[in-house]
A and B are shown apart, each in its own frame.
Chain A
Amino acid sequence: GQQLNQSPQSMFIQEGEDVSMNCTSSSIFNTWLWYKQDPGEGPVLLIALYKAGELTSNGRLTAQFGITRKDSFLNISASIPSDVGIYFCGYSGGGADGLTFGKGTHLIIQP
């Protein structure tokens, strides 16, 4: 099957720091999506990327679809306490087989 690696697995940062996480795959994909999940809730879509090289921002969040179509990163600038949660990348190869997700990056903000 297709390998999807999301890193880091967890991050411990201070409030105000910038955050960077990424996903890489062994295959080429058509779509990269970034989600955030708060405890006890379902994932919420943050950013969707549909073109290689695409760079998209959503407030303090920025994500890019790698030019090789095998990777994507998500940056969060000036982190705040409500950024705590699990961030998932997801990809689609197209067709009717739905999305596949990475294992998630746990973001923890230390006081």
Chain B
Amino acid sequence: ETGVTQTPRHLVMGMTNKKSLKCEQHLGHNAMYWYKQSAKKPLELMFVYNFKEQTENNSVPSRFSPECPNSSHLFLHLHTLQPEDSALYLCASSTRTDYGYTFGSGTRLTVV
């Protein structure tokens, strides 16, 4: 247990479904992130939230919609995904955006 909890651990969804990924941290961190990890690719930064404000949207398609209601919780809302969106989605948090991150265990997403 790293202090960053992601649910669910595994998710299979159809292309017409709507689902949400949840991330929670009680480390007192101010910044939270979503990363996408696909096979044979580097970790791709998707979104950055600093003090609940989105400071980075790394050209992510609109079918991914983040939400940060407070500094401890981060969501990733998914709708009309494509099979190529299948990947491990990792949440992370940190005290500052240039400090070491603490990652969750990820949600393994499969789009069918």
Q: Among A45, A88, A98, point to the contact of B33 (Cβ < 8 A).
A: A98
Give the interface residue-count category, chain B: 20 to 34
- Complex alpha-carbon distance, A33 and B101, angstroms: 9
B84 interface contact, C-beta 8 A: no
Q: Among B50, B90, B99, B106, point to the contact of A96 (Cβ < 8 A).
A: B50
Give the interface residue-count category, chain A: 20 to 34
- Complex alpha-carbon distance, A42 and B4, angstroms: 10
Q: Min CB distance, A37 to chain B, in Å?
A: 8
| A42 to chain B: closest residue by CB | B103
| A46 to chain B: closest residue by CB | B100
Consensus secondary structure, chain A interface = loop
Q: Among A41, A45, A102, point to the contact of B101 (Cβ < 8 A).
A: A45
Q: Among B6, B42, B45, point to the contact of A102 (Cβ < 8 A).
A: B42
- Complex alpha-carbon distance, A93 and B45, angstroms: 14
Q: Scan A29-58; emit 1 where CB is below 8 A from any B CB, else 0.
A: 011010100001111110010000000000
Q: Which residues of A contact B (CB under 8 A)?
A: 30-31, 33, 35, 40-45, 48, 88, 90, 92-104
Q: Which residues of B contact A (CB under 8 A)?
A: 2, 4, 6, 31, 33, 40-43, 45, 48, 50, 55-56, 90, 92, 97-106, 108
